[in-house]
Structure 1
């Protein structure tokens, strides 16, 4: 089994039909430490969703997984880069060449992948 990875879920929501919600649940089920960050104060079960405007401080981030479309990502750039993650996963529909280049310039690995598929296949 892979080592547990502290993961920040960008675009977290309390809507159980959304992939960001499902990703938080699956990450927790696999034993990863999860910090959901979104644009509304809410919760996924008992886990609070941190609000982007509160600039939640998170240290030792391994992975940021994106669930925000590229048109809305500029508001997130500085925050995500400040986390200094080892990698950013651009889930389907979140690909953003501009942001990927910014991250890679800071030696952050970027990948186009699906967090849910990675977890299910053991490649997370």
Structure 2
């Protein structure tokens, strides 16, 4: 299973980040949540701090590119295998930085990837 860090996590069940957390869990993937507002989603705490999580395989982004620079160093320090840029989060600058660090940037939808077995 692929431990996934969701950046831009939300406690609002109508948000895509919440739906992704739900779907990741239903597929057996452990999740870690980081958001801009404290709360809970699916019984998991949404963290405000940039905790150094162990064994993060995938980071999936649900934050606007204008908010991503504050997470660049943090995400790179976790050494995930890949970072998924969900629709609306595409960021050529960050994609280039990730590639330079041998982290695979993927422009895709986490929900679609899970539903078609491509996660």
What is the TM-score when the length of structure 2 is the normalising length? 0.97
Q: Does 1:92 align with 2:90?
A: no
Alignment size in residue pairs: 119
Aligned-residue offset at 1:79 = 1.1
CA offsets 1:40-65 (integer angstroms, 9 cap, x no match): 221003111111xx221211111000
Q: Which runs of 5+ in 1 are unaligned?
A: none
User: Which one of 105, 109, 112 corresponds to residue 107 of structure 2?
Assistant: 112
User: Which one of 37, 40, 49 corresponds to residue 46 of structure 2?
Assistant: 49
Q: Which secondary structure state, in structure 2, belongs to the residue aligned with residue 94 of structure 1?
A: coil
Q: Which runs of 5+ in 2 are unaligned?
A: none
CA distance in 1, matches of 2:78, 2:37: 20
1:36 aligned residue: 33
1:121 aligned residue: 116
Given that 2:7 and 2:63 are in contact with CA atoms closer than 8 Å, whether structure 1 keeps it comes out as: yes
Q: Which secondary structure state, in structure 1, belongs to the residue aligned with residue 87 of structure 2?
A: coil
Instruction: After the TM superposition, list the runs of 4 or more consecutive aligned residues in structure 1 that deviate by more than 3 angstroms.
Output: none
What is the TM-score when the length of structure 1 is the normalising length? 0.93
